[in-house]
Amino acid sequence: MAGSGTAHLRDREDIVLSVEDLVVEFPLGGGRKVHAVSSVSFDLAEGETLGLVGESGCGKSTTGRAVMQVPRPTGGSVRLRGADLTGLSGEALRRTRTQLQMIFQDPISSLNPRRKVRDIIGEGLSIWRPDADAAESRKRVDELLDAVGLDPETSGDRRAHQFSGGQCQRICIARSLVLDPDVLICDEPVSALDVSVQAQILNLLEDMKARYGLTMLFIAHDLAVVKNISDRVAVMYLGKICEVGTADAVYARPAHPYTNALLASVPRPDPEARAPSAPLEGDVPSPIDPPSGCRFRTRCPKAQERCAAEEPLVREIGPDHFIACHFPVDAPEAPASLDERSTAASSS
């Protein structure tokens, strides 16, 4: 699984965000480093939601933050409407980054406890539109508070500790929309909330997407949540992309052994529902010293010698459905590499 390649990137005029060969590494000293994100590529079209899913520690959140250039990527490119953010710095980067906004995992700690809600939401306007009429700015803040289901009159002058977790996340959503961003990055926005509140926030995000024409990168480890909100899904493992496709294709016909195991392990209310045909065994390898070839091979039930010697490349197996695997589930085996074909010809 976990491979490299850009076969799944689309050549379309409506692509808003294009990430190609993104690399994020953290030095540890002594020549060692954490390979947090390795050659990850994906794109987002206008009005589309891409769900980025995988186990904890696979690099999902680091990928989202690297898109924002916090931290700056070690390698690769991040293009927002054609502008490469990795080549910008200083004031140019700050201004361009206003078109990328983020909703954080912990809504309460992401809000300033000393400031009133109206000031928190309107801070972007005060920084980037200082000459705007105060009445118009207040009207914009009140409009967003109302849009996320909070009464501007009763909530605008209160502080974060006076709200529940779900209400704080609504405030975070309003704050992220105040500057009309091109892309909204949602970093596990419902994982810290109760199940009933999760549904409310997901429905709110869908409403906001329809109302404001949002383009979203939705990061989560809950497969059910990702399915309900995403147009396309990208599955990550140990810093690599392993499967990309429409939500319907990935969930109905998971071709990668890792994706297949993840979906099979989701609890179902039906006692007759199938259990994983080949449960994953072993621990996730260390990102400091990832396995050679396919990074998933140490836990994959279909692993063979080729998986250790050759990293799989992303390839298409169906309409808008791509995988990085030599021996996928219910899909053709990957073609032999040039080296393998040369070896086979010499042997014959």
Statement to judge: residues 90 and 121 lie in one domain:
no
Query: Token match 């500790």: residue?
Result: 161
Statement to judge: residues 345 and 324 lie in one domain:
yes
Statement to judge: residues 154 and 74 lie in one domain:
no
Statement to judge: residues 233 and 133 lie in one domain:
no
The range of the structural domain enclosing residue 37 comes to 1-99+183-189+212-266+278-348
Give the helix ranges, DSSP H, for the chain: 60-67, 90-97, 117-128, 134-147, 152-155, 165-177, 195-212, 223-229, 247-252, 257-264, 305-309, 338-347
Provide CB contacts within 8 A for 252, sequence distance 6+. none
Statement to judge: residues 62 and 167 lie in one domain:
no
* Residue-wise pLDDT tens digits, 208-232: 999 999 999 999 988 888 988 999 9
* Residue-wise pLDDT tens digits, 140-193: 999 999 999 999 999 999 999 999 999 999 999 999 999 999 999 999 999 888
With helix as H, strand as E and coil as C, how does 259-328 read?
HHHHHHCCCCCCCCCCCCCCCCCCCCCCCCCCCCCCCCCCCCCCCCHHHHHCCCECEEEECCEEECCCCC
Q: pTM higher than 0.75 for the full model?
A: yes
Domain membership of residue 348 (yes or no) is yes
For residue 311 the two structure tokens come to 């990293």
Domain membership of residue 135 (yes or no) is yes
Domain membership of residue 198 (yes or no) is no
Domain end marker among 180, 204, 236:
180
Statement to judge: residues 84 and 228 lie in one domain:
yes
Domain membership of residue 207 (yes or no) is no
Domain membership of residue 32 (yes or no) is yes
Statement to judge: residues 16 and 112 lie in one domain:
no
Statement to judge: residues 133 and 246 lie in one domain:
no
| Residues 77-88, mean pLDDT to the nearest whole number | 95
First to last CA, the chain: 30
Tally of domains in the chain: 2
